[in-house]
Amino acid sequence: MKPFAYERPHDAAGAVATVTADPDAAFLAGGTNLVDHLKLGLAAPSTLVDVTGLTSTEITDLPEGGLRIGAGVRNADFAADERVRARYPALAHALLAGASGQLRNMATTGGNLLQRTRCVYFQDLTTPCNKREPGSGCSALDGWARHHAVLGATHEPADVACVATHPSDMAVALVALEAQVRVLGRDGERAIPLTDLHRLPGDDPTRDTTLAHGELITAVDLPASPIAAHSTYRKVRDRASYAFALVSVAAALAVDDGGTITDARVALGGVAHVPWRATAAESALVGAPATDDTYRAAARAELVDARPVESPRGGTAFKLPLVTATLAAALRGLAENSAQEAR
């Protein structure tokens, strides 16, 4: 681990000023990903600027009925909040499906959004990786590809290829529930849809987000949403607990008395460089009967441009039927719940 300075500014604006002024400085919050990166040699900041206590650790009601989650709220407290459990069950489920009890006590809302991919090649300094070392190549393309992308990845040219996935569960539910992120920069605070925070690798896989260096997430806003109370999160992984998603689905569904879908929200995890809002699936669902055929057609619509990794040592083609089955299972469960409530 390279030596670094440690600072604890008096307020968030001071933290932003310090990091903005030093291209090698980094924010520290829960540290669950960054401290690991220090040990792995993936990160070598000049200065760690501790923002613990500088952003809110509270969940507050918004005037229009939504919730504001301070960036410093720990994942465990976020999941346990009674308003979140009752009004945004997909989000509580997603938070609880992530990491372990200890990590959820440490990890913050802001840090969870900014965690980096767990691609084994990104984390292994001895292998080529365009995200870690621009132009070196992508080892996953002909390597051990399993947790990698099927949507929105860059397969070529070789010097910018990246098939990494975003690892967060929480972010998938937040994207489905149309959250906004509040960001503090040198010129003040701004709000952006969460779908605009993360970015596809494009021709620069080194950048995970659209944030400028020194910009700090201060809060996440959840809009009031009747459909969110009928939401769920379904995660498929290699072991029953404490593992990253192979595929996950966050979904919310409204079905009328005649069994027709009137509204839908769908996001996918484990399939892309971003938590993937599945707008094509949503369009295919609304107005259609709440049946398995509809759910599968919605998955097919979303996967029309899918391109799995086809590596001699594994690949991600298995994710295409897995997305379809997981999405169908999630929607089937939601439709059954609303039918039971109608009775």
Please report, as ranges, the residues that interact with another protein according to CB under 8 A. Answer: 1, 3-6, 28, 31-32, 35-36, 38-40, 48, 50, 52, 76, 79-80, 82, 85-86, 89, 92-93, 96-97, 99-103, 105-106, 240-242
- Supply the minimum distance, in Å, between the C-beta of residue 240 and another protein: 8
- Supply the minimum distance, in Å, between the C-beta of residue 235 and another protein: 8
Residue 328 main-chain phi, psi, to 5 deg: -60, -40
Can the peptide bond before residue 157 be classed as cis, meaning omega within 30 degrees of 0? yes
Cβ–Cβ < 8 Å for 272, 200:
yes
Cβ–Cβ < 8 Å for 59, 84:
yes
- Supply the minimum distance, in Å, between the C-beta of residue 223 and another protein: 20
Instruction: Specify the residue, 252 or 320, whose C-beta has the smaller distance to another protein.
Output: 252
Instruction: Specify the residue, 53 or 134, whose C-beta has the smaller distance to another protein.
Output: 53
Measuring CA to CA, how many Å separate 145 from each of 217, 263, 320?
Answer: 31, 35, 14
Instruction: Specify the residue, 154 or 326, whose C-beta has the smaller distance to another protein.
Output: 326
Residue 220 belongs to what H/E stretch? strand 216-222
Instruction: Specify the residue, 10 or 156, whose C-beta has the smaller distance to another protein.
Output: 10
In whole angstroms, give the CA distance from residue 303 to residue 299. Answer: 6
Instruction: Specify the residue, 182 or 234, whose C-beta has the smaller distance to another protein.
Output: 234
- Supply the minimum distance, in Å, between the C-beta of residue 77 and another protein: 9
Q: Half-sphere exposure of residue 92, counting CA atoms within 13 Å on the CB side?
A: 16
DSSP state string for 249-309: EEEEEEE-TTSBEEEEEEEEESSSSS-EE-HHHHHHHTTSBSSHHHHHHHHHHHTTT----
Instruction: Specify the residue, 37 or 273, whose C-beta has the smaller distance to another protein.
Output: 37
- Supply the minimum distance, in Å, between the C-beta of residue 207 and another protein: 25
- Supply the minimum distance, in Å, between the C-beta of residue 150 and another protein: 24
Q: Which of 122, 151, 81 is nearest to 320 (CA)?
A: 151
In whole angstroms, give the CA distance from residue 37 to residue 114. Answer: 13
- Supply the minimum distance, in Å, between the C-beta of residue 259 and another protein: 25
In whole angstroms, give the CA distance from residue 285 to residue 265. Answer: 9
- Supply the minimum distance, in Å, between the C-beta of residue 244 and another protein: 12
Instruction: Specify the residue, 85 or 296, whose C-beta has the smaller distance to another protein.
Output: 85
Measuring CA to CA, how many Å separate 57 from each of 52, 54, 289?
Answer: 9, 9, 42
Instruction: Specify the residue, 93 or 148, whose C-beta has the smaller distance to another protein.
Output: 93
